[in-house]
Structure formats: C-alpha cells, structure tokens
Amino acid sequence: MLDPQCESFLAPGADAPELVDLPISVGRSGSYAGISLAGEIDTDILIRTHFIPGVTADLAIRIYTPPTSGPHPGMLYIHGGGWAYFSIDFYDAQLSALSKLTDSVIVSINYQKAPEHKFPIPHDDCYAGLTWLYENSDSLSIDKKRIGIGGDSAGGNLAAGVVLRARDEKIFPLAYQLLIYPALGVDFETDSYLKNGTGYGLTKRTMSWLWSLYLDRPEDWQNPYAVPLSSVDLQNLPPTIIVTAEYDVLRDDGIVYADRLSENGVTVVHKNYSGMIHGFFNYGTQIDEGMRLRNWLSSSIKDLLLN
C-alpha cells in the first residue's frame, strides 16, 4: 500500500505536466523550488565548494568535512536528476547528515548535464572526481583504504558505471558502492515499469525520455559504463548497498542488479522500502522515511567499513 505521506506528497502534482512535456530550461528552473524539502543543513559539518579539472571542463565539487579528527572514511557522491536536472545544491542537508553519521568526508560532484553533454561526458566527469578524491585524500584527511562511492537515481547509474570502470582500469580498490533507487537498465517493460508507470511521480514515459537525453549513439545502449545491467561481468566489485522503493519504476533495476551481484560473489545489502516512491531520500521534510533512510544508510556503510 502506498504510504499516506507519499500519497499526500504526490496529490498536489497529480495534474501537473510531466518533465517530458516541459522545455528543459523550465524543468530545471522549477526544480529549485524543491531544495528545502530535504530539511536543515547540519551546521557541525564544514561545507566548502571547490573546482577541479575534468576532461572537458572544470567541475564544481562540494566537500563535507566532519568536526572530528581524521583520517576519515571518504565518499564521492553523485547526485540524481535524470542526468539533466538538479545540482550539488540539492544535497546539502542529506550529505551533511551522512557526513556526520558516518564520520566521512564526502565530496559531491556537479557533473555536466545532458542533453547538452551526453554520455560519456557525465561519466567521465564522475570518474575524474573519484580520481581527484583519491589523489587528494591526504590533504582531505581521508583514509585511502576506506573510500566509497554513492549516488541516487541517475547518480546511482553514474556511480555504478564508475565502479565498473574503476575495477577494469584497476585504479584503486573501493570500500563500497551505495546505490539509491538507481537507474541501471533500459528494459521499460519490467514489472515495476508496468505497475508504477503512472501516478507515482517519476513515470515510465519520462524515465525512458531521460535515457534518450543521456545516450546518443546506438552502441551506448549496450555500454556497461552507461547501462550497468548490460554488463556481462559483475565479479570483483566492492560490497554494495542498494535501496529500492516499492512504488518506483526503477525498483526492479535495483532488485535485478542486487541479485546479479550476489550471484557473482559480491556482498550485497539490499532494502526495498515498502510504500515509498522514487526520490523519497530528498523529501525528508514531507516523508519521514526519507529521514530514517539516512540512519539506515549510515549504519550499513559503517558495518561495511568495519569488515
């Protein structure tokens, strides 16, 4: 059953146009009205904005540092937004909370957006961010052996793709990957796409359109770095935390990936949130489970770092 708070959250937008029906500039500007839905920013966390070199552009990053002495665990976080929307500005509340709860230095990267910058540019930006974090771990007071990567939605897609590439190129071993309702495959006829395709916020029609904004060439649709579920080799990947939501078109992407990772010998911690919708991690002021998710993620991360 749909959670009553999710139902109330969705009700005002029941007749609103889908993103696919709006000019991208309008969707982008309108999305900023939702920043405050994540809640208060933890003022104990030092938050700095910095710029790093990417392959095709300088990239803004935001660094969250806890008040305790290091070296700390580290995490590169990749924000969601369908590869085309949102920015690092949307995640101060969520990431300051995770930084404090896990005692981690978190680096959030503002990758370039589709459709102006299609695959592989956002992927390359995030890979550059992970490389920069590792190379600058000493100055950030980060323990190189406790670096993870995380992301939600399209950010979960980018995180999973970066993890596959990091394994293939053997840059350094990651401590974990954290995938929050990730977009991992391009099968739009799964049970979750069919049952949750309309009425729950993110629709089947919009999600398939967002994929078309991100991927350009026909071969990109089978590239594991762009579409992680197309990978034929999921061995030797880091321990993985996966969150899925019952009323989300992307639910089965996460479930199938969790199963395939387990079959390939990867440690997987998976939780499917009953009654929840896509994006609830960002709606903590309206949906209590979005706040509670922070605690579950933090406990799961700390458990993996101890093993």
Active site residues: 153, 248, 278
Q: 85 with 155: CB under 8 angstroms?
A: no
Alpha carbon separation from 94 to 4, 9, 118, 134, 166 (Å, rounded) = 22, 19, 27, 22, 26
Q: How far apart are CA 156 and CA 112, in angstroms?
A: 16
The number of residues in the chain equals 307
Say if residues 291 and 39 touch (Cβ distance below 8 Å): yes
CB 202 within 8 A of CB 158: no
Query: Which candidate, 203, 225, 213, 201, places its Cα nearest to that of 283?
Result: 201
Residue with structure tokens 């771990």? 137
Closest CA relative to residue 144, chosen from 203, 71, 201, 54: 71
Residue 146 tokens read as 């406790």
Distance CA 3, CA 218 (A): 39
Copy the structure tokens of residue 133: 């974090």
Alpha-carbon span 74 to 294, nearest angstrom = 16
Name residue, tokens 């939605």.
Answer: 153
- DSSP letter assigned to residue 37: G
Other Cβ atoms less than 10 A from the Cβ of 88: the count is 20
CA distance 18 to 100: 36
